[in-house]
Amino acid sequence: MIKAVFFDVGGTVLDESREFASWADWLGVPRHTFSAVFGSVIARGLDYRETFRVFRPDFDLAAEQAKRAAAGVPESFGEEDLYPDARPCLTALKGQGLLVGLAGNQPAHAEAVLRSLRLPVDVIGTSAAWGVQKPSPAFFDRVVREAGGDPSTILYVGDRPDNDALPARRAGMKTCLIRRGPWGHILDMPAVAGECLFRVDGLDALPGLVARHNAAHG
């Protein structure tokens, strides 16, 4: 049975479109150009930060984040950036008596912002706070510990087959791929997708899928 469901953050519960647009504005490039380069970087399997270096070869993300904060345009997000189906899905899973968590690669400021949203979750974990990033096995070991220690009872939900589904599966978890956001649409790893327990285009259907799975395996 599934006893805990953990979600990636960006591209899964958080729509990063506004954040990407703000970076294009900060760099002084057209938003559609930034998006096109971003997609090309993802399609080649490169780190997303290479997108910024296409426009500014000496780009340093931490330094630029500090500059943005000093200029009064910090990188941030809010309730309006959650996918509309995110909060209802989390609420429904909590209503099934499951442990629900968020665990994703996010910068230092993100955890405080996520907590301020008062989402119906039991655990909020970020790479900055945990000191380890996906797809490192140590990240998913931490998810297992936070969920009680039995990976076979955990469902990990994410938009990336490489950073989410594959390492979570290797850690012994069940997995769900959600097809949205740039990675969800561009990265194609059929073998990884085929090993997922669920594949969805949004989070509306997930509570029902989990409930039916648990009813069949209870």
**Percent of the chain at pLDDT above 70?**
100
- The whole domain housing 193 covers 4-15+78-217
Q: How many domains does the chain have?
A: 2
Domain end residue (candidates: 70, 97, 112): 70
State pLDDT tens for residues 7-36.
999 999 999 999 999 999 999 999 999 999
Do 157 and 188 belong to one domain? yes
Closest CA to 116 of 146, 78, 151, 87: 78
Q: Given this model, what pLDDT does residue 45 score? A: 87
Domain end residue (candidates: 27, 50, 70): 70
Do 34 and 115 belong to one domain? no
Across residues 121-150, what is the average pLDDT? Answer: 95
Q: Given this model, what pLDDT does residue 126 score? A: 93
Q: Given this model, what pLDDT does residue 29 score? A: 96
Do 27 and 125 belong to one domain? no
CATH for 90: 3.40.50.1000
Summarize the chain as % helix, strand, coil (round to 5).
Answer: 50, 15, 35
Across residues 184-213, what is the average pLDDT? Answer: 95
State pLDDT tens for residues 159-180.
999 999 999 999 999 999 999 9
Do 161 and 92 belong to one domain? yes
Do 139 and 32 belong to one domain? no
Q: Is residue 104 over pLDDT 90?
A: yes
Three-state SS at 185: helix
Across residues 179-200, what is the average pLDDT? Answer: 93
Do 37 and 65 belong to one domain? yes
Do 199 and 100 belong to one domain? yes
Do 124 and 51 belong to one domain? no
State pLDDT tens for residues 32-55.
999 999 999 999 989 888 999 999
Do 156 and 54 belong to one domain? no
Three-state SS at 131: coil
Neighbours of 152 (CB within 10 A): 11
Q: Is residue 198 over pLDDT 90?
A: yes
Do 23 and 84 belong to one domain? no
Do 120 and 134 belong to one domain? yes
For the chain, give the number of residues: 218
Do 85 and 170 belong to one domain? yes
Q: Given this model, what pLDDT does residue 161 score? A: 95
